[in-house]
Amino acid sequence: MNKNEAHQKIKTVELFAGVGGFRLGLEGWNGSSPLSGYRELIKSDFEVVWSNQWEPSTKVQHASKIYEENFGKEGHSNADIKTISTAEIPDHDLLVGGFPCQDYSIANHASQFTGIKGKKGSLWWEIHRILREKSEADAPVKYILLENVDRILATPIDRKGHDFATILASLSDLGYAVEWRVVNAADYGMPQKRRRLFMIGYHRTSPIFAKIKSGFKCNKWLIEDGVLANAFPATTRG
C-alpha cells in the first residue's frame, strides 16, 4: 500500500448496541485499550460506521442516550430495528451484536423460556434479514460476531437445542461457516462467574471460509489458531 493511502479499517455495524460494549472492545476508548485499563494506546483495525439501540419497553431511551453521549449521534440510530430497511444501513465488513437474551435467560422461570419465538428472542431474525438482504444486494457481510447467554443452547424447554440449531442452520443457508464457544469470564481473570456464548461467522466470500472449504485442519483452528482460540486460550485433555 502506498504510504499516502488511508489505512483500510474493518467497517463495522453494531446492533443491539446497549451503551457500546462491542465498540469499546473494537475501537477502545479515546484511543486507549480496554485490556490495559485504558492506560495504553490501541491500534484499532475497526471502525463502527453505524449502530442501533432501541428499547421498546421504556419511554426514555437511557442506553441510547449514553451511547450518543460517549460516541456521538453521527451514524447512530435509536429506532426499532424492525422499521429500518437494510438499504439504510451502510455496507460493512463485520456485524456485531448481543441480540436480546431475555427469552433465553436463566433469570426467567422455565415456563418463560420462549426462545427464538419470544418477543425479543425473535429479533434474531432481524440480524438474519440484514445479512440476507446485504448478500442479495451483492454487498455480503463477510464476518459476524454475536453474543448471548449460554442458556440459548437449551431452548425451547420442550425441544432443547432447537433454537440454536435453527440459528446455525439459517446462517449456513446464508453461506456462513460458524464457530462458537461458551466462555466463563471467571476463567479469564474476571471477578465473577458469567457464562456467555460467542459466535463468529465467516461468509463464503471471506479468506477463512476458503480455508475451511479447502479442508485445512479445523481442530487446530478451533483450539490453537482461530479467533476465539487466541482470545480465549483453552486446553484439551488427551
How far apart are the C-alpha atoms of 14 and 109, rounded to whole Å? 30
Rounded CA separation 114/93 (Å): 32
How far apart, in whole angstroms, are the C-alpha atoms of residue 148 and residue 151?
A: 8
Task: Given the residues 42, 81, 96, 101, select the one marked as catalytic.
Answer: 101
Q: Judge contact between 95 and 128, C-beta under 8 A.
A: no
CA–CA separation, 157 vs 122, rounded Å?
Answer: 16
Contact 53, 81 (CB under 8 A): no
Q: How far apart are CA 139 and CA 95, in angstroms?
A: 13
218: annotated active-site residue: no
Helix, strand, coil shares of the chain, percent, nearest 5, are 35, 20, 45
Q: 76-77 and 143-149 as β-strands: parallel, antiparallel, unpaired?
A: unpaired
Active site residues: 101
